[in-house]
Amino acid sequence: MIYHFPPAEIDTKDDSFLIVEDTFFAKFKTENKTTLRNVFLTENVLVFVLKGHKHLHIENETVVVTPQEIIFLKKGIYAMAEYFEEKQQFEAVLLFLNPKILQEVIAEYNIKTSNNFSNTPFLKIDTNPIIETYKNQLRQYFIQNALKDKGILLLKQKEVLLYILKTISSSQTAPFWDSVISTSSENITYVMEKYLFQKLSLKDYANLTNRSVSSFKRDFAIIYHSSPTKWINQKRLAHSCLLLKNTQDRVSEISEKCGFESLSYFTRLFKRTYNMTPTEFRADN
């Protein structure tokens, strides 16, 4: 199973998440045994390991993160996270960072980026005394109610970004910043090709391209001369036809592989488009 992280809904009694005014800010992660979990990141995540170490399997690369390092993960990546405890306890704080905050910091402090499209999925850097001081304060924001304030937490996001931008070489970080804040047309085509067969909503696609839903629809129409929903369904249906003709996969498996939200929706849409059900289409072919 693949977990969307952070999830769409959180148990209000789960105090491991720091949520203020319906905005995710952070999670305090603890594990007392080695675990393995597949996750799809729905937000940009900055990970501070406090105890133990973490293995992240991202695409074809395995990344190890220790307490002497931090890693910034781009939203939209699939990662298999593996936690290794130290003295029976793994601890980490994960900060969720909105691209708009990063854009504001880059603009406010005239940080130079290349403005080129990049699909760099993560940035791993060594900590330094300034970042360590920041990291050592994080646990207090889960404990002290006075600190659970949206204005304070937004300032904390800007603070850590500024520390990274000012204390780490720009040549090391620039490709990742370009990847995180990109709103180029290349970003839309990259996202659509990469996530076409995933069960994502229009809001998810818009979020992955750093746009509002309305902006995403407008820019999508300029590139593809179609609405996102119509284009996605056409591509998925065409792929389903290939699978129906050339594989022995069950219809339910094909529906899943093509990213349809349910078998009933796939069947209904297929019949509306081709005037026959997927089973009838397979029999004819």
Same domain membership, residue 190 and residue 174: no
List the CATH number of the domain containing 26.
2.60.120.810
pLDDT for the residue numbered 234: 97
Q: What angle do CA 26, 210, 61 make, to 5 degrees?
A: 70
Distance between the two ends of the chain, CA-based, in angstroms? 33
Cα–chain-centroid distance for residue 125?
A: 19
pLDDT for the residue numbered 275: 97
* Spans of the chain, pLDDT less than 50: none
CA 210 → CA 21, 54, 72, 75, 179, distances in Å? 21, 28, 17, 10, 10
Same domain membership, residue 131 and residue 247: no
Same domain membership, residue 262 and residue 192: no
Q: Are 209 and 216 in contact (CB under 8 A)?
A: yes
Same domain membership, residue 147 and residue 29: yes
pLDDT for the residue numbered 115: 65
pLDDT for the residue numbered 181: 87
Same domain membership, residue 16 and residue 52: yes
List strands edge to edge, sheet with 69-73: 17-20, 23-31, 90-97, 44-51, 69-73, 122-126
Same domain membership, residue 193 and residue 255: no
Same domain membership, residue 246 and residue 130: no
**DSSP states along the chain:** -EEEES-SS--TT-TTEEEETTEEEEEEEEESS-EEEEEEESSEEEEEEEESEEEEEETTEEEEE-TTEEEEE-TT-EEEEEEE-BTTBEEEEEEEE-HHHHHHHHHHTT-----------EEEEE--HHHHHHHHHTTHHHH-GGG--HHHHHHHHHHHHHHHHHHS-HHHHHHHHHHHH--SHHHHHHHHHHHTTS---HHHHHHHTT--HHHHHHHHHHHHSS-HHHHHHHHHHHHHHHHHHH----HHHHHHHTT-S-HHHHHHHHHHHHSS-HHHHHHH-
Same domain membership, residue 275 and residue 156: no
Same domain membership, residue 148 and residue 204: no
Same domain membership, residue 195 and residue 248: no
pLDDT for the residue numbered 170: 83
pLDDT for the residue numbered 75: 92
Domain housing 175: 2-181
pLDDT for the residue numbered 140: 94
pLDDT for the residue numbered 257: 95
Same domain membership, residue 81 and residue 133: yes
pLDDT for the residue numbered 107: 84
Same domain membership, residue 269 and residue 211: no
Number of domains composing the chain: 3
Domain boundary among 161, 181, 201: 181
> CA–CA separation, 111 vs 105, rounded Å?
8
pLDDT for the residue numbered 1: 58
